[in-house]
Amino acid sequence: MRMTGAEALIKSLEKEGVDVIFGYPGGVVLPIYDALYDCKTIRHVLVRHEQCAGHAADAYARATGKVGVCLVTSGPGATNLVTGLANAWMDSVPMVAITGQVATAVLGTDAFQEADITGITLPITKHNYLIKDVNQLPTVIRQAFELARSGRPGPVLIDMPSDMSKAEIDFKYPEDFTIPGYKPVYKGHAKQIKEAAKLLTRAEKPIIYAGGGIIKSEAWKELKDLAEIIEAPVTTTLMGKGAFPDEHPLSLRMLGMHGTRYANYAIMDSDLILAVGVRFDDRVTGKISAFAPHATIIHIDVDPAEISKNVVAHVPIVGDAKTVLKDLTAAVNKIEKPYADKTRWHAMINEWKKKYPLHYHQDGQIRPEYVVETISKLTKDKDTVITTGVGQNQMWAAQFYSCNTPRGFISSGGLGTMGFGLPAAVGAQIGRPDAVVVDIDGDGSIQMVSQELATVAANKLPIIIAILNNGYLGMVRQWQELFYNHRYSQVDLNVGTPDFIKLADAYGLKGVRVTQVEDVEGVLKKAIEAREPVLIDFMVAREENVFPMVAPGTSIDEMLGGIPGAAISQMIDEQEEEEKDETYPVGTRGK
C-alpha cells in the first residue's frame, strides 16, 4: 500500500495493538495528527502538558502490562517530555515516545523549535531513533516496541522529522526482524539455580526481597509459591508493592528508608537474602557497607548490569524473574525434606510485628495515615489502582495502603517525580476503565500538574483525587525539622496555594473539603460509590511526620520514630534478653 510516512506510522501502531496515545499537537506533527484523525482504532487523549503525556503513558503501561505510547511536537514539546522519559527509564516502564522534529534539510541549523532530542535523551532511553529514511519507519516501530517490552523494559524514543511524515512509502509491516546485538537472557543458569535452591533450603533465617521486576515479568504467582514452600518472609520495594500480598502472613511489607521496622530488622538479621527484580538502591540499603552483614546474597535479574552493581551477589542468576523462579521452585522441590527449621525465625519476626506495628496518633485531628488506611479499607474488595504524588503523601500511601494484587499501586520510584500522581491516574483509569482509581496526592505535588484536571474533566474519568493537605512541602519540611533544627526555609505553602475546591469547580469537577475526622470515611465512601470525578481536600495535621525513617548515611536498622509508646518501654529489656540467648544467632538485634 502506498501511503505517507505519517499514515505508515499510524498503521504501524495499529499493527502493534496500540489502542490509546497520550499527546499534545504542534506544528511539525500536524501530518501525524491529520493521519490520526481518520484512525478508528486508536484513541487520542489530549493532555495539557507534554510531561503529563509521558506520565500518563507510563501509568497506562504499569496498570495494563502493555506498552504505553505518547506523541508530542518538536523543541519544547520534546524537552517537556524529558521528565516523563527519565521517570519511565528509572522505573523500567515499557513506553514508546514519538516526537516531531524539524525537516531533515534544516537539522543542525537551530531551526525554529529544533532540539537534539535524541542526544538529550540518550542516557534516559533504552534506545532512540532519528528517522532519516521513511522506508525504515515500519522496521523502526517494530524494533521500538520489542525493545520497550522485552528484557528489562524501558522507554524508546522515535524522532520523526516533518518531511519524513510527508514522504511516501510502499507500506509493508515486517513480520520477521532482528535487532543486532540485542539478545536478552531469560533462562537462568542451571548450576546457579541448583546452588540457590540448596542454600534456600538450608537457611535458618531466609528472606525474599522482591522488587518491580516481579511485576514486569508477571512472576507474582511464582514468588508466592516459592515463599510458601520455603516458608520465607517477603519484603517488597516501593516498585514491588503488590507483587506479594501485603496481608499475607509471610509479608513484611516495604523495607528501606520508610519501610517497616520489622522488615528492616529482618533483612539485617537474615542469613540469606533472595533478591528478585531489585537493584539494591540507596533508599533500600541505607549505609551500604553495613547492609545485611550476615547474609548470603542470591540475586536474580534480567539485566546483568544490575547484579553486584551495589551489593555483591554470592550467587548471581541472570534471567527473567518468572522463568527463574519457576525453575528455582522446581529445584527446591527436588531437595529432600525436611528443610532447615525456621520456627525461631518466624517467632522472632512475629514478635517484631507485635512490638513495632505501623501506627499513628489518634487525637481528633485528621491524620494522613488514617485517610490512607480508610481508602484501603473501603476499596479492599474492589478492583483498585492507587497512584501517588511524591513526598510524604507517597510514603503514607506505601505504608498504610494494603495492596494485595499486582498492578494496583503505581508511584514514581527512582526519579521521585513530584506531580506524577494525577497524570498517572489518568493513564491508569483509561487503561482500566472499570477500576476504582485513587490519586493519593499532596498539596505541593498536585500543583505541579493541576492543569490535568482539564484532562480528567474532558474525558469524564471517575478518578478520586485525595489531597493530603498540610500546607507544606511536607517531606522537605520533615527533613528541615529533623536535620536542620526546624529552620523551615521555603516550604510553607499556605500563602498562595489555591482553594482546591474552587479550582475543581473551575474545571467543572466536584470538590469536597474535609476538616473533621469523623467525616473522612463517609466522604470517601460516597466518592467511591459515585463513579464520577471528585477532588477531596483533606485538611490534615500540619506537622505530621513519616515514621519510621532511616537517616541518611546510617544503617537501615537505625530508625527514627515509628515505635508505639508501649514498645519503647520494653525495648531495652528485651534486647538484653536477646543478648543472653546464645542458642540462636541474633545478628545486629543482639548488639
Q: What is the pLDDT of residues 462-493, one digit of tens each?
A: 999 999 999 999 999 999 999 999 999 999 99
What dihedral angle (degrees, nearest 10) is formed by the CA atoms of 502, 508, 509, 510?
70
Percent of the chain at pLDDT above 90?
94
- How does DSSP assign 348-406, residue by residue? HHHHHHHHS------SSS--HHHHHHHHHHHTTTS-EEEEE-SSHHHHHHHHHS---ST
Name the band, by pLDDT with cuts 50, 70 and 90, for residue 583: very low
Residue with cell 525495648: 571
Show the cell assigned to 276: 528478585
Sketch out the chain's domains with CATH numbers: 2-170 (3.40.50.970), 190-355 (3.40.50.1220), 368-539 (3.40.50.970)
Q: What is the DSSP letter of 559?
A: E
Pair 69, 42: CB distance under 8 Å: no
Summarised one tens digit per residue, pLDDT across range 303-350 is: 999 999 999 999 999 999 999 999 999 999 999 999 999 999 999 999
Name the band, by pLDDT with cuts 50, 70 and 90, for residue 588: very low
Name the band, by pLDDT with cuts 50, 70 and 90, for residue 179: very high
* Residue 169: how many other CB atoms lie within 10 Å: 21
**Pairing outcome for strands 95-101 and 68-72:** parallel
* Residues β-bridged to residue 534: 464, 510
Q: Is the pLDDT of residue 496 over 60?
A: yes
Q: Which amino acid is at 578?
A: E
Summarised one tens digit per residue, pLDDT across range 199-235 is: 999 999 999 999 999 999 999 999 999 999 999 999 9
Tell me the pTM.
Answer: 0.95
Q: What is the DSSP letter of 241?
A: T
The Cα 463–Cα 298 span in angstroms is: 41
* Residues β-bridged to residue 560: 549
The Cα 161–Cα 159 span in angstroms is: 7
How many contiguous H segments (helices) and E segments (strands) does the chain have?
23, 22
Summarised one tens digit per residue, pLDDT across range 261-316 is: 999 999 999 999 999 999 999 999 999 999 999 999 999 999 999 999 999 999 99
Q: Is the pLDDT of residue 10 over 60?
A: yes
Residues across the chain: 591
Name the band, by pLDDT with cuts 50, 70 and 90, for residue 569: low
**Residue 176 CB-density burial (10 A; 0-12 exposed, 13-18 middle, 19+ buried):** exposed
* Residue 123: how many other CB atoms lie within 10 Å: 8
Q: Which residues contact 34 (CB under 8 A, 6 or more apart)?
A: 6
Mean per-residue pLDDT for 362-381? 96
Mean per-residue pLDDT for 402-429? 98
* Residue 531: how many other CB atoms lie within 10 Å: 11
* Residue 490: how many other CB atoms lie within 10 Å: 9
Summarised one tens digit per residue, pLDDT across range 139-151 is: 999 999 999 999 9
Q: What integer pLDDT is reported at residue 565 of this predicted model? A: 73
Name the band, by pLDDT with cuts 50, 70 and 90, for residue 176: confident
Show the cell assigned to 159: 524522532
Name the band, by pLDDT with cuts 50, 70 and 90, for residue 177: confident
The Cα 511–Cα 232 span in angstroms is: 45
The Cα 471–Cα 456 span in angstroms is: 24
Mean per-residue pLDDT for 94-118? 98
Q: Is the pLDDT of residue 574 over 80?
A: no
Summarised one tens digit per residue, pLDDT across range 522-567 is: 999 999 999 999 999 999 999 999 999 999 999 999 999 988 876 6
Helix residue spans in 38-132 (DSSP H) = 50-64, 76-80, 82-90, 117-120
The Cα 281–Cα 212 span in angstroms is: 12
What dihedral angle (degrees, nearest 10) is formed by the CA atoms of 199, 205, 206, 211?
-150
Q: What integer pLDDT is reported at residue 64 of this predicted model? A: 98
**Pairing outcome for strands 464-469 and 272-276:** unpaired
